[in-house]
Structure 1
Amino acid sequence: MTARAIRIIGFDPGLRRTGWGIVESDGVRLVYVASGVITPPKDDDLAYRLSALFDAVTSVIQSFSPSEAAVEETFVNENPRSTLKLGQARGAILLAPARLGLRVAEYTPNLIKKSVTGTGHAEKQQIQAMISFLLPKATFDSADEADALAIAITHAHHRSSRQRLATVAAKVAGT
């Protein structure tokens, strides 16, 4: 990678399993760096599980020093209780990179699928196949890791557009 390459970490939030994946992008090429899954203790009370999740996310970020982070947005489940717990897990995951000074972007599940596979309703197997194609050196053992890498790739593809929009908005606000 060139000196202009940026390291991006993606997170696929979950209270039981949170996938994380790191890529480097120079605007043209993507390079796999690392990926894994965080599994907070399932028998602890919610507050301690969230604390363990926050600490593990913080540790991964400190170990790999990404420049930016991306997190999948919450989709509403049929079970409102599960949706609320997922939202709390997302809160812990969003807080960790923000506390470490990283810019944090959020992407919808359909945008992530469309960015990686070309369709917004792709199946898990399609995402995993495309991750293997886009990042041939990637080694991942779960859909959570593949999804996290897809989130990082989505951010790599969309970050320049977000930056241009922010620049235009700043100019408009300054006039």
Structure 2
Amino acid sequence: MLTAMRILGIDPGLAHTGFAVIDFDGQASRLLAAGQITTPAELPLPQRLKQIHDGLVAVIQEWSPDVAALENLYFCTNVRTAISVAQGRGVAILSTAQANIPLAEYSPLEIKLAVAGYGKATKQQIQKMVKTILNLESVPASDHVADSMAVALCHAHSQRYQNMIIASGVEQGVLPRRRKSRRR
């Protein structure tokens, strides 16, 4: 059974990439570090991507996470926004791969369900739940930092259930057989 895990949550973006590092002991989570990598819009794209990469590499080197968690790319009506998020996401994936850190990906729905218990939770509800779960004095000032905390908490939540499944002896992915009714 898993005893402890250090999780790096990443909220990727070109202008702002949020990150959070939490320790998860199998039951509870504790925030170790959180922040945001901001790239100036006037910089050429390659330099902005390099800044994100360098920032994430520094976080990885300082905190040595066991696993990273990232939000899946979601449907976006603004193509420019989708492309910039995808570019930041690619850099985050590369940064974790270079450090041989396993990467878990979650949909926005999975993250909201894990953190707030409601798949249509608002940003404010997610921020309040992040504050409560991590015992913070106030909600994170940045949406990107709050989102990175939420994705890390989602992975911790997922691992807690995996631990329960393992402890119960239930095979993963195997549902109990339904008995056929004897209607006549």
Q: Give the TM-score band, short-chain normalised.
A: 0.7 to 0.9
Q: C-alpha separation between the residues in 2 aligned to 1:128 and 1:23?
A: 16
CA drift at 1:155: 0.5
Once the two structures are superposed, the pairs formed by residues 95-110 of structure 1 within 5 Å of their partners are: 95-110=94-109
Hey, what does 1:35 align to over in structure 2?
Answer: 34
User: Which structure 2 residue ranges, 5 or more long, are not aligned?
Assistant: 174-184
Aligned residue in 1 for 2:162: 161
AA aligned opposite 1:161: Q
* Separation in structure 2 between the aligned mates of residue 51 and residue 22 of structure 1, nearest angstrom: 21
Identity in percent = 37
Identify the residue that residue 144 of structure 2 maps to in structure 1.
144
Name the aligned partner's letter for residue 146 of structure 1.
A
Distance 1:138 1:9, change over 3 A: farther
8 Å Cα contact 1:34-1:138 kept in structure 2: no
Q: Which residue of 2 aligns with 1:173?
A: none
Deviation of 1:47 after TM superposition, in Å, equals 1.6
SS of residue in 2 equivalent to 1:71: strand
Aligned length: 165
Q: Distance in 1 between matches of 2:141 and 2:81?
A: 25
TM-score for both structures, normalised by structure 2: 0.82
Q: Secondary structure at the match of 1:106?
A: strand
Partner of 2:5: 6
Distance in 2, matches of 1:138 and 1:66, equals 24
State the Cα RMSD in Å.
Answer: 2.2
| Residue pair 1:132, 1:138 contacting (<8 A) in 2 also | yes
Query: SS where residue 7 of structure 2 aligns?
Result: strand
Q: Counterpart amino acid of 1:63?
A: E
CA offsets, 1:98-143, max 9 Å, x none?
1101101111111101110011111111011101110114663212
Say which one has the larger Rg: 2
2: CA distance, partners of 1:91 / 1:38: 15
Structure 1 residue 76, shift from structure 2 partner: 2.1
Equivalent residue, structure 2, for 1:70 = 69
Following the alignment from structure 2 to structure 1, what is the Cα–Cα distance between the partners of residues 137 and 38? 20
For residues 42 and 81 of structure 1, what CA distance do their matches in structure 2 show? Answer: 13
Q: Which amino acid aligns with 2:73?
A: T
Q: Secondary structure at the match of 1:70?
A: strand
How high is the TM-score relative to the length of structure 1? 0.86
Q: Provide closer, same or farther for how the CA distance between residues 71 and 138 of structure 1 changes in structure 2, counting only shifts above 3 A.
A: farther
Higher helix share: 1
